[in-house]
């Protein structure tokens, strides 16, 4: 309910937003007794924007109109997150931190013989398995709170402190407060949410040039780039082809109830009170119905007629737009080819027409409708979509901050 109220407020307030002007977010960081807390880190999640509270606990942050998650952290206190909406005026927000007993006292981690395995699994699904991921290192994996549910075959991870990741491929030091990470071994679906903060690593001018080139490669073709381009109506110009992957019922597969009834009928072979062993032959009726059961429920048909952006994207206000569709979006990024490492991974590649080059292909399935997104490519509710293909392969190791600007855009801004 709170999320709905926040979203409605955002839609209303956003009508008065000015994208050019910045407004000041300010306040005092204090404890529950009202005492000022100097030196607290105040971060804007997903950006490279941060400050620290002064000796009197005060802080200030200049922010453009938009929706932000503000994260506050100080050693000895629980991390605090507040969502704010900047519209057309300055905002005063006092932040009250609560002492963390677990941080003040020595924490004893219960030995788990499988912990190293779970950490490796988390690293693969959270940081990734791309070439950039190979150059990432978790500095403090001891902050990971791991829970594996054997019955559900589900790995769950969270942190109450920043997980620090050094990305030597892109030149970022990422502080990530993991709110929730889940991976199901059965459904093969991975989901995570949290509050990242990006810092630039120090390096020589030569190294910085290499990082700049790799950052641009990571950004181009990414979901962030895609949503930013459709927000501005420039998806085609920037290399994206948007098609539909339509799923239709499989005409060769009878209903589940019909299959179930026939398999039950044919396997119910009894001789008095003793059941006889059933032998399945390739040409018998039971084998026929088992083959029917194993057929896919639907058949996917690719419509190669490009979807017009003005029919896909809907304007809400000056700050937010939305998309809503049926079936799946089939997104082709034509300005980069698939990495050979991705092409060799079983179960990740998306089927393509024989005449299509090895462009990067991803699909989007809506979980919550509609999907709201912002000019910088940020998504209001990250759990509203399910990615497959190239976007499902690239994870934290291939991410850039939400305020990242390609070199060309940076020059235009100047």
List per-residue pLDDT tens for the chain, 414 residues long: 333 333 333 333 333 333 447 899 999 999 999 999 999 999 999 999 999 999 999 999 999 887 889 999 898 898 888 988 887 889 999 999 998 875 544 445 556 789 999 999 999 999 999 999 999 999 999 999 999 999 999 999 999 889 999 999 999 999 999 999 999 998 888 888 889 999 999 999 999 999 999 999 999 999 999 999 999 999 999 999 999 999 888 788 888 888 888 888 877 654 444 455 555 555 577 788 888 788 877 788 999 999 999 899 998 877 789 999 999 999 999 999 999 888 777 667 788 899 999 999 999 999 999 999 988 898 887 778 999 999 999 999 999 999 999 987 655 555
Domain identity same for 229 and 319: yes
3-state secondary structure of 116: helix
Q: Report the C-alpha gap between 58 and 56 in whole angstroms.
A: 6
Domain identity same for 14 and 81: yes
Domain identity same for 88 and 144: no
Considering 104, 133, 149, which residue would you say is the last residue of a domain?
Answer: 104
Domain identity same for 271 and 287: yes
Tokens standing for 161?
């402190």
Query: Residue 137's domain spans which residues?
Result: 115-200
Report if pTM > 0.85.
no
Domain identity same for 62 and 183: no
Q: Report the C-alpha gap between 12 and 205 in whole angstroms.
A: 46
Considering 49, 73, 104, which residue would you say is the last residue of a domain?
Answer: 104
Domain count, the chain: 4
Domain identity same for 178 and 137: yes
398 found inside a domain: no
Tell me how far the alpha carbon of residue 154 is from its chain's centroid: 18
Domain identity same for 349 and 231: yes
Contact residues for 203 (Cβ-Cβ < 8 A; gap 6+): 171, 211
Domain identity same for 121 and 196: yes
Domain identity same for 124 and 184: yes
């Amino acid at each position: 309910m709170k999320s709905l109220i926040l979203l409605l407020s955002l839609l209303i307030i956003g009508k008065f937003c000015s994208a050019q002007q910045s407004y000041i977010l300010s306040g005092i960081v204090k404890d529950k007794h009202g005492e000022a807390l100097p030196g607290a880190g105040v971060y804007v999640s997903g950006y490279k924007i941060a400050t620290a509270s002064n000796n009197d606990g005060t802080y200030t942050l200049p922010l453009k109109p938009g929706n932000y998650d503000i994260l506050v952290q100080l050693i000895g206190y629980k991390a605090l997150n507040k969502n704010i909406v900047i519209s057309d005026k300055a905002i005063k927000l006092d932040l009250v931190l609560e002492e963390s007993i677990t941080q003040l006292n020595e924490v004893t981690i219960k030995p788990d013989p499988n912990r190293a395995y779970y950490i490796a699994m988390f690293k693969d699904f959270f940081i990734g398995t791309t070439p950039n991921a190979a150059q990432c290192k978790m500095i403090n994996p001891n902050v990971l709170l791991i829970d594996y549910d054997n019955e559900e075959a589900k790995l769950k991870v969270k942190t109450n402190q920043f997980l620090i990741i050094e990305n030597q491929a892109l030149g970022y030091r990422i502080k990530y407060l993991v709110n929730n990470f889940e991976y199901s071994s059965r459904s093969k679906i991975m989901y995570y949410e949290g509050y990242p903060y990006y810092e630039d690593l120090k390096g020589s001018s030569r190294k910085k040039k290499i990082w700049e080139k790799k950052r641009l490669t990571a950004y181009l073709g990414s979901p962030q780039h895609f949503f930013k381009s459709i927000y501005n109506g420039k998806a085609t110009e920037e290399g994206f082809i948007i098609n539909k992957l339509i799923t239709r019922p499989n005409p060769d597969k009878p209903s589940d109830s019909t299959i179930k009834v026939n398999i039950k009928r044919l396997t119910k072979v009894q001789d008095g009170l003793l059941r006889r062993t059933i032998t399945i032959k390739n040409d018998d009726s039971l084998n026929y119905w088992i083959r029917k059961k194993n057929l896919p429920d639907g058949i996917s048909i690719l419509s190669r007629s490009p979807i017009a952006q003005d029919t896909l994207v809907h304007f809400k206000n000056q700050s937010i737009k939305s998309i809503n569709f049926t079936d799946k979006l089939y997104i082709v990024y034509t300005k980069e080819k698939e990495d050979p490492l991705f092409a060799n991974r079983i179960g990740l590649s998306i089927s393509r027409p024989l005449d299509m080059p090895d462009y990067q292909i991803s699909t989007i399935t809506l979980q919550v409708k509609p999907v709201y997104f912002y000019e910088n490519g940020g998504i209001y509710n990250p759990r509203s979509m399910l990615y497959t293909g190239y976007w499902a392969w690239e994870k934290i190791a291939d991410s850039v901050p939400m305020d990242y600007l390609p070199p060309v855009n940076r020059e235009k801004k100047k």
